[in-house]
């Protein structure tokens, strides 16, 4: 495709080919003041009078990989950019080594507190920690009345604009933002001249660089505020900004961890695993001793479902046939398509299944957690997980890493325990998603059940099945098995319906849970549920119709342009990554273009290194095309103006989850259709591509489907593009675009469940952000209390044991207030208790 010709014809907006704005101002034009002790007053006055300001820090150079966990680099420079009421801008550079720390901290604190105005930053957590650790905390120790600064994190704002876009998985850097939003080429820190040492005066280049960082942050923040307003993201950005300090303090506080106790537990688990393997060997025909003589290894692999099914068919045939008779009405051995999930093994029962379940549990704990937990331990003896806002998930929920504090195994939780004299306050919003869905759907039946304080799953079962479950005359008292069956069905649907659950999924879920249910029965259950809750039914129908309408009216993809992006993006991204690995900085589109052209000239690009795409004469690719390709985090389907084809979902707070379409996925789906087709022309295309790459045609297993075998071949992603290109050559552009459009339509259908659930998960995520902000203010009344963990809809506060009852009451009230703000028509409950560890077995008191 000739993009230049399309631009000349007016078919494509030229601005889309280079999304960077034209540079209209230069940070070097902003006057800079180097702030010495004598100039501190002028600096403070400028901060106090400013209508907007940005602050950045520079730290002393440290070789990579030498810092211990939790180490905060030494502060060397604080730079600021201020804008006066008349619009005048000035940059300020403060070399902290030339100032008394207490005096500087007091001046900075007082100057920034004159107005109720946050300072713009890019990655506020970093700057806040550096200033707190090396300025505020030493000043406090010296008797100064100072505290942490208030920030507006532009990095979070930028992430909100990109949330949900294909390929976007982590925060952008300031240099990227300056190029994208301002058109600036920013100098990086890849040279020793721009490193900041511990001694010696700052040179002119270092001063200019530090000042430019602050000015660029100020200007980028201006653009981002405009973009947020245009996108309707101001309120959700406010929530993210208010939550950030609470989450930052939680990361700093860390989670107490009994490492020695956990090591002892691991040793016991390893012994128990050996015993379970020996038991499995003895139950299934024997085995052989392991290399260390600690037990027997069975003559089959317990990690293999294929071998486990065979073992159960041989050594537990009666139990297997009893389970299959109950599950699908006929006694038979386990088939290759039968899952061996935990619920299935529990349903079959017996010694072998019990041992298999124990083996899986022990193996998962030892492999997933094992001694890796101790590797995350900081010198203070605590774990400090990093919580990721916005970029953690597409829905707005937090994610965490190093370690993942939201996925601890129950075995591990007792070792996350409060130190002597301290306690944990645990609080969790009860059934937050279902309550939020009730609010969104205005369903009176669910609302009435919540108002009455009924067990929601019991109430749902009674409405669906017309039976009485509670009370002395109910099934709970008279027929416990039937009560459990009805309640289990209702519970599965209560939660599953929010995620777009259909009959097939409900059938599998209930059957795995020990309630055998056919597809027809599951379909009838869903119909009964929707009849019982017409508000939910109407809301589900509206969400599904919205997706259907988009699929029918809005799939205006430009396939030649999309395929061009799919071919170009991997090359530009590879060049960008190579440059970054070499120089550890952001590179402009011009630099990436030069690297791409140089690689082509040197014949250094091997087509097999890239995921997809035909050969492109990269010497003919211009800077505008490279900038356009680099504006995407991944190659996606685009419209004729070069913008992504997308749709989005909103929460009541305005959070936007965007849905875009991966070119690679669409190519894979379209190529799979070709590979599975029995029609002569597609079949001929498939054969020619396989012959070109010297591949044997895949075949379906006996009694199985061809599709999985074809998809296995297409895991070699360059084949996907080869198939679609061959379709264009052999069958014509119309057939090629028909196949791609059909694949795109399939992808829209697959996104329906995520679209249905997006405002619910995202809405509850917004509730929790609101709660974090409120909790941060509340905890200011308790100087010795710290938040130490959050998981989805829950928080854990560590405090002095005597303070725990008062804090528990306040935490409960705070969570409920946040939920009630966004969910005013449905009662809110935060289940709250006081405990000594994260384990429920350590609960001391439940708070009413």
Model pLDDT, residue 494: 86
Of 152-161, 351-360, 599-608, the range with the lowest mean pLDDT is 599-608
Would you place residue 67 in the very low, low, confident or very high pLDDT band (cuts 50, 70, 90)? low
Please report which residue ranges of 50-150 form alpha helices under DSSP H.
101-113, 124-131, 137-141
DSSP state letters, 167-184: T--SPPPHHHHIIIII--
β-sheet with 786-791: strand ranges across: 786-791, 794-800, 422-429, 830-835, 843-847
Tokens 């929601």 correspond to 456
Q: Inform me whether the pLDDT recorded for 621 exceeds 90.
A: no
- Taking only the tens place, the pLDDT of each residue in 731-765 is 999 999 999 999 999 999 999 888 988 999 999 99
Which class for 143: exposed (0-12), middle (13-18), buried (19 or more C-beta within 10 A)? exposed
Average pLDDT of 547-561? Answer: 90
For the residues 203-228, what does the mean pLDDT come to?
Answer: 95
Mean residue pLDDT of the chain comes to 88
Give the integer Cα–Cα distance in Å for 435 and 444.
Answer: 12
Alpha carbons 401 and 383: distance in angstroms, whole number? 11
Is there a contact between 163 and 396 (Cβ–Cβ < 8 Å)? yes
Higher pLDDT residue, 67 or 787?
Answer: 787
Per-residue pLDDT of 113-160, as tens digits, reads: 877 789 999 999 999 999 999 999 999 999 999 989 999 999 999 999
pLDDT in tens, 704-728: 688 888 999 999 999 999 999 999 9
C-alpha distance across the termini of the chain, in Å: 67
**Local confidence band at 11 (pLDDT 50, 70, 90 cut-offs):** very low
Q: Which long-range contacts (CB under 8 A, 24 or more apart) does 279-285 make?
A: 279/351, 279/355, 280/352, 280/355, 280/356, 280/359, 283/315, 283/351, 283/352, 283/355, 284/311, 284/314, 284/315, 284/352, 285/315
Binned at pLDDT 50, 70 and 90, residue 16 comes out as: low
pLDDT higher than 70, residue 820: yes
- Cis before 403 (ω within 30): yes
HSE toward the beta carbon, residue 465, CA cutoff 13 A: 21
For position 502, what pLDDT does the model report? 78
- Comparing 358 with 501, the larger pLDDT belongs to 358
Within 8 A by CB and 6+ apart from 637, the residues are 557, 562, 644, 645, 660, 661, 662, 663, 666, 744
Predicted confidence at residue 500, as pLDDT, reads 73
- Give the residue-averaged pLDDT of 81-89: 96
Asked if residue 289 lies in contact with residue 297, where contact means CB atoms within 8 angstroms, the answer is yes
3-state secondary structure 289-307: ECCCCCCEEECCCCCCHHH
For 777-788, what is each residue's pLDDT tens digit? 999 999 999 999
The pLDDT > 70 percentage for the chain reads 92
What is the pLDDT at residue 407? 85
What DSSP character marks residue 644? B
Q: Contact 644/638 with Cβ under 8 angstroms?
A: yes
How large is the average pLDDT for residues 170-195?
Answer: 76
> Is residue 192's pLDDT more than 50?
no
Instruction: Please report, for residues 97, 494, 756, the alpha-carbon distance to residue 760 in angstroms, rounded to integers and kept in the order given.
Output: 51, 13, 8
pLDDT the model gives residue 832: 98
396-434+755-847 CATH choice from 3.30.70.260, 2.40.50.140, 1.10.3720.10, 3.30.70.370: 3.30.70.370
Mean pLDDT of 220-248: 97
Q: pLDDT confidence of 304, banded at 50, 70, 90? A: very high
**How far is 682 from 723, CA to CA, in rounded Å?**
9
Q: Is a pLDDT exceeding 90 seen at residue 313? A: yes
Instruction: Please tell me the predicted confidence (pLDDT) of residue 8.
Output: 41
| Average pLDDT estimate for 381-397 | 92
Q: What's residue 66's pLDDT?
A: 55
Provide the pLDDT for residue 398. 93
Residue 143 contacts residue 104 (beta carbons within 8 Å): no
Q: Could you give the CA distance from residue 501 to residue 503 in angstroms, rounded to a whole number?
A: 7
pLDDT value of residue 33: 96
Cβ neighbours for 415, distance < 8 A, ≥ 6 positions apart: 257, 258, 259, 261, 262, 265, 837
Handedness of CA 442, 448, 450, 455 (dihedral sign): negative
Tally Cβ neighbours within 10 Å of residue 481: 8
Each residue's pLDDT tens digit, 37-46: 999 999 999 9
User: What pLDDT, on the 0 to 100 scale, is given for residue 329?
Assistant: 78
The strand pair at 382-383 and 386-388 is best described as: unpaired
Sorted by sequence, the CB contacts under 8 Å of residue 348 that are 6+ apart come out as 312, 316, 319, 320, 323
Does 310 score more than 90 pLDDT?
A: yes
The region of weakest confidence among 316-330, 396-410, 611-625 is 611-625
Residue 466's region, left for phi above 0, alpha for psi from -120 to 50, else beta, is left
* CATH top-level class of 27-231: alpha beta
- Report which secondary-structure segment, H or E, holds 386: strand 386-388
- Per-residue pLDDT at 325: 87
What does the pLDDT read at residue 501?
75
Q: What is the pLDDT of residue 703?
A: 59
Interval 617-627 mean pLDDT: 74
Chain centroid to Cα 63, Å, comes to 30
Reading the block at residue 394, the tokens are 């597409």
DSSP state, residue 611: S
| Confidence bin at 689 (pLDDT 50/70/90) | very high
- pLDDT bucket at 17, cuts 50 / 70 / 90: low
pLDDT surpasses 80 at 6: no
Of the two residues 478 and 547, the one the predictor is more confident about is 547
What is the reported pLDDT for 602? 58
pLDDT range class, residue 601, cuts 50, 70, 90? low
Nearest Cα to Cα of residue 172 among 25, 20, 391: 391
- Residue 425 β-bridge partners: 797, 834
Structure tokens belonging to residue 193: 């001249």
How do strand 646-650 and strand 422-429 relate by DSSP bridges? unpaired
Query: For the residues 451-471, what does the mean pLDDT come to?
Result: 87
Domains 27-231 and 396-434+755-847 are alike in CATH topology: no
| Residue found by looking up tokens 């017309």 in the block | 466
Residue extents of the structural domains in the chain: 27-231, 259-375, 396-434+755-847, 444-532, 558-644
240-294 tens-digit pLDDT: 999 999 999 999 999 999 999 999 999 999 999 999 999 999 999 888 876 555 6
Sign of the torsion formed by the C-alpha atoms of 12, 14, 20 and 24 = negative
């Amino acid at each position: 495709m000739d993009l230049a010709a399309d631009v000349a014809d007016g078919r494509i907006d030229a601005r889309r080919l280079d999304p960077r704005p034209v540079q209209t101002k230069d940070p070097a034009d902003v006057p800079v003041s180097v702030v010495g002790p004598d100039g501190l007053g002028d600096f403070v006055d400028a901060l106090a009078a400013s209508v907007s300001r940005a602050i950045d820090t520079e730290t002393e150079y440290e070789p990579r990989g030498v810092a211990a966990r939790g180490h905060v680099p030494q502060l060397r420079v604080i730079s600021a950019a201020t804008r006066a009421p008349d619009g005048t801008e000035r940059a300020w550079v403060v070399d902290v080594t030339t100032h008394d720390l207490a005096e500087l901290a007091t001046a900075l604190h007082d100057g920034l507190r004159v107005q109720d105005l946050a300072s713009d930053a890019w990655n506020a957590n970093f700057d806040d920690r550096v200033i707190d650790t090396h300025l505020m905390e030493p000043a406090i120790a010296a008797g100064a009345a100072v505290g942490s600064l208030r920030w507006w994190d532009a990095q979070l704002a930028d992430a909100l604009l990109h949330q949900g876009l294909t390929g976007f998985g982590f925060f952008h850097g300031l240099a990227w933002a300056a190029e994208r939003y301002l058109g600036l080429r920013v100098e990086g820190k890849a040279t020793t001249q721009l490193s900041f040492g511990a001694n010696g005066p700052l040179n002119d280049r270092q001063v200019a660089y530090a000042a430019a960082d602050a000015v660029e942050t100020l200007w980028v923040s201006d653009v981002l505020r405009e973009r947020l307003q245009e996108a309707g993201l101001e309120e959700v950005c406010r929530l993210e900004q208010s939550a950030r300090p609470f989450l930052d303090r939680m990361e700093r506080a860390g989670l107490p961890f009994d490492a020695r106790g956990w090591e002892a537990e691991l040793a016991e688990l390893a012994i128990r695993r050996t015993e379970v393997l020996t038991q499995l060997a003895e139950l299934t025909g024997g085995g052989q001793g392991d290399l260390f003589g600690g037990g027997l290894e069975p003559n089959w692999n317990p990690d293999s479902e294929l071998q486990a099914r065979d073992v159960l068919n041989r050594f537990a045939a009666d139990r297997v046939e009893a389970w299959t008779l109950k599950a699908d009405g006929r006694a038979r051995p386990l088939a290759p398509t039968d899952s061996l999930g935990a619920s299935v093994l529990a349903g079959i029962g017996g010694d072998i299944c019990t041992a298999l379940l124990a083996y899986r549990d022990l193996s998962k704990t030892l492999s997933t957690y094992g001694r890796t937990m101790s590797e995350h331990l900081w010198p203070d003896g605590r774990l400090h997980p990093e919580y990721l806002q916005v970029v953690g998930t597409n829905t707005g929920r937090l994610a965490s890493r190093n370690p993942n504090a939201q996925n601890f195994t129950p075995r591990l939780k007792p070792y996350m325990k409060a130190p002597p004299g301290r306690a944990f306050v645990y609080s969790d919003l009860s059934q937050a998603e279902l309550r939020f869905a009730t609010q969104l759907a205005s369903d009176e039946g669910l609302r009435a059940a919540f108002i009455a304080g009924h067990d929601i799953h019991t109430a749902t079962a009674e409405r669906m099945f017309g039976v009485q479950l509670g009370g002395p005359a109910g099934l709970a008292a008279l027929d416990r098995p039937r009560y459990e069956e009805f309640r289990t069905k209702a519970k599965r649907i209560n939660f599953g319906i929010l995620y777009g659950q259909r009959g097939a999924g409900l059938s599998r879920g209930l059957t795995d849970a020990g309630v055998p249910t056919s597809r027809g029965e599951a379909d009838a259950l869903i119909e009964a549920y929707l009849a019982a809750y017409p508000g939910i039914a109407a809301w589900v129908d509206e969400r599904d119709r919205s997706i259907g309408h988009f699929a029918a009216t809005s799939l205006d993809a430009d396939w030649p342009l999309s395929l061009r992006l799919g071919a170009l993006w991997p090359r530009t991204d590879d060049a960008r990554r190579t440059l970054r690995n070499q120089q550890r900085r952001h590179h402009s589109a011009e630099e990436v273009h030069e690297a791409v052209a140089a690689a082509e000239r040197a014949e250094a690009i091997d087509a097999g290194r890239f995921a997809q795409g035909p050969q492109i004469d990269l010497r003919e690719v211009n800077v505008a095309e490279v900038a356009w390709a680099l504006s995407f985090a991944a190659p996606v389907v685009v419209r004729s103006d070069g913008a992504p084809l997308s749709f989005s979902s909103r929460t009541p707070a305005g959070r936007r989850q965007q849905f875009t379409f991966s070119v690679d996925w669409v190519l894979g789906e379209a190529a799979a259709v070709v590979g599975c087709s029995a029609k002569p022309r597609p079949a001929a295309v498939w054969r020619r591509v396989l012959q070109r790459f010297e591949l044997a045609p895949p075949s379906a297993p006996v009694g199985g489907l061809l599709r999985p075998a074809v998809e296995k071949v297409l895991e070699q992603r360059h084949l996907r593009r080869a198939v679609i290109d061959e379709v264009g050559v052999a069958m014509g552009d119309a057939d090629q675009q028909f196949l791609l459009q059909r694949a795109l339509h399939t992808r829209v259908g697959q996104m329906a469940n995520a679209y249905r659930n997006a405002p619910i998960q995202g809405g509850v995520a917004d509730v929790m952000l609101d709660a974090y902000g409120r909790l941060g203010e509340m905890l200011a009344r308790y100087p010795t209390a710290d938040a130490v963990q959050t998981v989805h809809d829950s928080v854990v506060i560590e405090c002095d044991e005597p303070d725990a009852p008062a804090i528990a009451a306040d935490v409960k009230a705070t969570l409920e207030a946040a939920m009630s703000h966004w969910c005013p028509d449905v009662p809110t409950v935060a289940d709250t208790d006081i405990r000594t560890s994260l384990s429920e077995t350590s609960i001391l008191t439940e708070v009413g």
